[in-house]
Structure 1
């Protein structure tokens, strides 16, 4: 799962990048601290993975991972390619989703580009730049496609119509994801349009645990989601002894799922992901994120293409039933394992062993 970070200068993108990935990135109270795109991986914590491995004495545990991409803060004109952020927008076109960091903290030592804190205005300003970038990209592609369409090429004619619908939506101030048309959706995905991607607005607050109401309403209107996270405070807690940090977080009533975990959980909800596991015995237990609704055969292909190509059937058991049994063999003896075919829809927490023949 690749997540791209966007936001205005000094919104806290790089601080969030460091919080989630643990990477040492420069954080400073001046614009454009991030000049070149930064990438880093982060493990997705999941206690179920350890439970599966511990129950079966499996030594190696491989968690799911997310990759974050941090680019320079966006300024006016970025959508037309101006400034550091504009030059880096192309880095986000392959991302699965965008984390839109919005400043909602009032630290006077961190200047705002407009010398004011207005989360909704900042969110709208960045959304505009993303839409402008998509509009320019779509218009350039439409010019090329129209030349081919003049020859009567059916595919080009259909693509031109889809591009026109996308441009119409962008001109009306609507993101590409709002266009209810399969052809347009497919073209937008192929182009990596930024406003076609799922978006999670993250209000970077002082201590508040709910996003500003107007920002939450804006997210809903954009077909997106929103959460609040006191990134600076979470960075301080992350640097403390874990027990002391947990105690302080409890005193401050920061909630059970917080910090990096809250961001990853929000991204999973945004992309509607579920996790299945492999680990019927040594040498490893592994977590695999997939889209909700994925079939057993397609999930097997996530492990290796040969497993999908030669799929015969899968042995499946809920993770907690496997832990209770203590081993795959004992679960089989107790008849808690199920045999499922290629069209079985994998459920959250399933543990699978795929039988195949290539």
Structure 2
């Protein structure tokens, strides 16, 4: 899962990047600390994976991973290629989703570009730059497709109406994800349009655990989701002894799912992902995130293309049943393991062994 970070200068993007990935990053109270795009990977903690491996004495545990890309804060003109953020927008076109960090904290030592804290105005400003960048990309594609359509090229003739619908949506102030046409949305996603991607607005708060009402309403209107996270506080806690940090978090009533875990969980909800596992015995147990509703054959293809091509059946057991049984063979004896065909829809927490022949 690849996630791109966007936001205005001094919104806390780089602090969030450091919190989730644990990577060293310069965090300072002045604009454009991030001058070059930064990338880092982070494991997705999942105690179910450890339980599956522990129950069967599997030595190697491979968690799912998330990659974050952090670019410079966006300023006016970024969508037209101006400034550091504008130059880096292309780095986000391959991301699966965007994390839009919005300032909602009141620290006077961290200046705001407009010397005020207004989460909705900041969100709208960044959204506008993304839309401008998309509109320019669509116009370039339209120029090419119109020429092809005039020449009678079938592909261009078919694509032109969809591109025009995307342009109309952007001109009307709607993100491409709300174009309202499946064919047009598929083209927008294939083009890597930034406003076509799922978006999670993250309100960087002082200590509030709910996003400001105005920002939550803006997110809903944009076909997006929102959460609140006191990034600075969480970053401080991440540097403490775990037990001491947990005690402070309880005293501050920061909730059960916090910090980097809250961000990753929010991204999973945004992309509607579920996790299945492989690990019917040594040498490894592994977590695999897939889109909810994925059939067994396609899930097998996530592991390896040969498994999808030669798929015969899947042996499936719930992770809790496997842990209770203690081994794959004992789960089979207990009749908690079952055979499923290629059209079986993989469920959250399934442990799967694929039978195939190529």
Taking the aligned partners of 2:265 and 2:197, their CA distance within structure 1 comes to 17
Mapping 1:158-197, distance limit 5 Å: 158-197=158-197
Unmatched 5+ residue regions in structure 1? Answer: none
The 3-state SS of whatever aligns with 1:312 is: strand
Match of 1:13 in 2: 13
Match of 1:57 in 2: 57
Match of 1:349 in 2: 349
1:211 counterpart = 2:204: no
**TM-fit CA distance, 1:117:** 0.5
Q: What root-mean-square deviation, in Å, do the aligned CA atoms of Structure 1 and Structure 2 show? A: 0.5
The 3-state SS of whatever aligns with 1:301 is: helix
Mapping 1:289-308, distance limit 5 Å: 289-308=289-308
The 3-state SS of whatever aligns with 2:214 is: helix
**TM-fit CA distance, 1:154:** 2.1
Mapping 1:111-122, distance limit 5 Å: 111-122=111-122
1:134 counterpart = 2:134: yes
1:287-326 deviations in Å (ceiling 9; x for gaps): 0000000000000000000000000000000000000000
The 3-state SS of whatever aligns with 2:133 is: helix
Aligned residues, how many?
A: 358
Taking the aligned partners of 1:175 and 1:229, their CA distance within structure 2 comes to 25
Taking the aligned partners of 1:275 and 1:50, their CA distance within structure 2 comes to 14
1:178-205 deviations in Å (ceiling 9; x for gaps): 0111221111011000000000000000
Taking the aligned partners of 2:189 and 2:105, their CA distance within structure 1 comes to 34
Match of 1:339 in 2: 339
The 3-state SS of whatever aligns with 2:354 is: strand
**TM-fit CA distance, 1:335:** 1.2
**TM-fit CA distance, 1:159:** 1.0
Taking the aligned partners of 2:159 and 2:77, their CA distance within structure 1 comes to 28
Taking the aligned partners of 2:225 and 2:209, their CA distance within structure 1 comes to 15
Taking the aligned partners of 1:52 and 1:135, their CA distance within structure 2 comes to 48
Taking the aligned partners of 2:105 and 2:182, their CA distance within structure 1 comes to 40
**TM-fit CA distance, 1:157:** 1.3
Taking the aligned partners of 2:340 and 2:183, their CA distance within structure 1 comes to 33
Match of 2:37 in 1: 37
**TM-fit CA distance, 1:151:** 1.3
Match of 1:147 in 2: 147
Taking the aligned partners of 1:142 and 1:183, their CA distance within structure 2 comes to 16
The normalised TM-score by structure 1 is 1.00
Match of 2:318 in 1: 318
The 3-state SS of whatever aligns with 1:293 is: coil
Unmatched 5+ residue regions in structure 2? Answer: none
Taking the aligned partners of 1:187 and 1:299, their CA distance within structure 2 comes to 24
Taking the aligned partners of 2:93 and 2:160, their CA distance within structure 1 comes to 21
1:249-298 deviations in Å (ceiling 9; x for gaps): 00110000000000000000000000000000011000000000000000
Q: Which runs of 4+ in 1 moved over 4 A?
A: none
The normalised TM-score by structure 2 is 1.00
Match of 2:271 in 1: 271
**TM-fit CA distance, 1:337:** 0.5
